[in-house]
Amino acid sequence: MDNFKKDFPILENRNISYLDSGATTQKPIQVIEAIKNYYERYNANPHRGAYSLSIEATEEYENTRTKIAKFINAKNREEIIFSKNATESLNLLAYSYGMENLKKDDEIVISIMEHHSNLVPWQKVAKTTGSKLNYMYINEEFELSDEEIETKITDKTKIVGITHVSNVLGTINNVKKIIDYAHKKGAIVIIDASQSIPHMKIDVQELNTDFLVFSGHKMLAPLGIGVLYGKRELLNKMNPFIMGGDMIEYVYEQDTTFAPLPNKFEAGTQNVEGVIGLGAAIDYIENIGYDKIHEIEKEVVDYAREELSKLDFLTLYMTPNKNNHSSVISFNINGVHPHDVASILDSEGVCVRSGNHCAQPLMRFLGIDSTCRASFYFYNTKEDVDNLVKGLNKSYNMFKKYITKEK
């Protein structure tokens, strides 16, 4: 098996099993070098200067937009809008689409497994516009059934927001089915691809999604850069979200006309190093190829599913259907709080997240407060899984004589 750890300086420098890529991935040397190279060779403010340095910076910035459009197979490059992260992309949609298009008694449908970023903005839209926020719930296999989708998306539904892969359960949602059904009912669909795009090929035209968002930092790029994809005809009709420089055409004392796409949605000096880093991350991913990434992850995650299933003191929150499960595994040691487990794992050099994972409604639905979460990427190995299992055994052994039945 290829070992990609050598491309990641932090994994070489620190003796850890990093199992928190669902929170943020580590960065390969290629991405780090690209950012360094940008600052050493062509840093200037894009779209501003008439001098060649600024023009080169503009080219690098805009070429990355084209690269991303190709990467997700968008029809037009101006359908790619840069943002701070998936959260900002979703807020842009809530304000520039939701607030302006929803009326009283319209319905917004999201799933119970949404991250707070694809949930709290819609609460705000619902409260402001008088529309209703409805939820699609999961079945006992931690999946959304076709029946649930078809019951909750109705003729009144105007917006459907759905995560492609759950950041807690790892469930891969049938977004194609949701998109097709929502379109039949006259609703537009927003896909949160934050947890899917690091692991699987996204084709926005094949999906026929209206909008799609993701964060760069969960796919090897720097923190602070995100993407909003939107169909051109929809983005053209929307008003800007943030006002300021570079998103305007003519500014008068009392009125302004706005720049065309994509600049209309990119006010102020942008995160150019983030964009350059994202471009390098895409090159890196394409160089390995999603097939290879999938092959490696499948081997490691299948192994993790098997090994964790052998621990009878563990509750696992994942679908039994392997094909509907990505690279996230949530679990609890029965009777032991996940923070304690995470601290003990930390003492073994195993980095997992513990808490509610920005998904409090899902936790409440599952009847729990929090979980531990191990999330994998192609740089993880079976040895990382072995370390996790070893740490879990250690945690259980430390606690077992104190664990009482009723807990």
Residues that bind other proteins in the complex, under the rule CB under 8 A: 335-340, 342-344, 346-347, 354-356, 360, 363, 369-370, 398-399, 402-404, 407
Residue 75 or 339 having the CB closest to other proteins: 339
Residue 118 or 371 having the CB closest to other proteins: 371
User: Please, what is the minimum distance in Å from the beta carbon of residue 394 to other proteins?
Assistant: 9
Residue 310 or 407 having the CB closest to other proteins: 407
Tokens of 380: 């993880």
User: Please, what is the minimum distance in Å from the beta carbon of residue 336 to other proteins?
Assistant: 8
DSSP run (H or E) holding 104: none
Which residues lie below 8 Å from residue 147, measured CB to CB, with a gap of 6+?
Answer: none
Q: Are 323 and 359 in contact (CB under 8 A)?
A: no
Max Cα-Cα span within the chain: 74
Q: Are 196 and 202 in contact (CB under 8 A)?
A: yes
The residue behind tokens 């302006």 is 100
Residue 171 or 354 having the CB closest to other proteins: 354
Tokens of 131: 């529309």
User: Please, what is the minimum distance in Å from the beta carbon of residue 151 to other proteins?
Assistant: 30
Q: Are 102 and 125 in contact (CB under 8 A)?
A: yes
Q: Of 275, 267, 214, 265, give the one whose Cα is nearest residue 92.
A: 265
Residue 17 or 319 having the CB closest to other proteins: 17
User: Please, what is the minimum distance in Å from the beta carbon of residue 370 to other proteins?
Assistant: 5
Phi, psi of 81 (to 5 degrees): -110, 130
User: Please, what is the minimum distance in Å from the beta carbon of residue 76 to other proteins?
Assistant: 40
User: Please, what is the minimum distance in Å from the beta carbon of residue 338 to other proteins?
Assistant: 8
Q: Are 193 and 213 in contact (CB under 8 A)?
A: yes
Tokens of 35: 């950012």
What residue type is assigned to position 335 of the chain? G
User: Please, what is the minimum distance in Å from the beta carbon of residue 372 to other proteins?
Assistant: 11
Phi, psi of 259 (to 5 degrees): -70, 155
Burial 229-262 (b: 16+ CB within 10 A, else e): bbbeebbeebebbeeeebbbeeeeeeeeebbebb
Residue 54 or 356 having the CB closest to other proteins: 356
Tokens of 268: 């102020």
Residue 250 or 402 having the CB closest to other proteins: 402
Whole-angstrom distance, CA of residue 236 vs CA of residue 234: 5
**Catalytic: which of 23, 55, 99, 358?**
358
Q: Are strands 371-375 and 328-333 parallel, antiparallel or unpaired?
A: antiparallel
Between the two ends of the chain, the Cα-to-Cα distance in Å is 42
Catalytic residue at 351?
A: no
Residue 99 or 314 having the CB closest to other proteins: 314
Tokens of 292: 């290879």
Question: Angle, nearest 10°, between helix axes 52-71 and 272-288?
Answer: 40
User: Please, what is the minimum distance in Å from the beta carbon of residue 402 to other proteins?
Assistant: 4
DSSP run (H or E) holding 279: helix 272-288
Whole-angstrom distance, CA of residue 109 vs CA of residue 365: 17
Catalytic site residues?
358
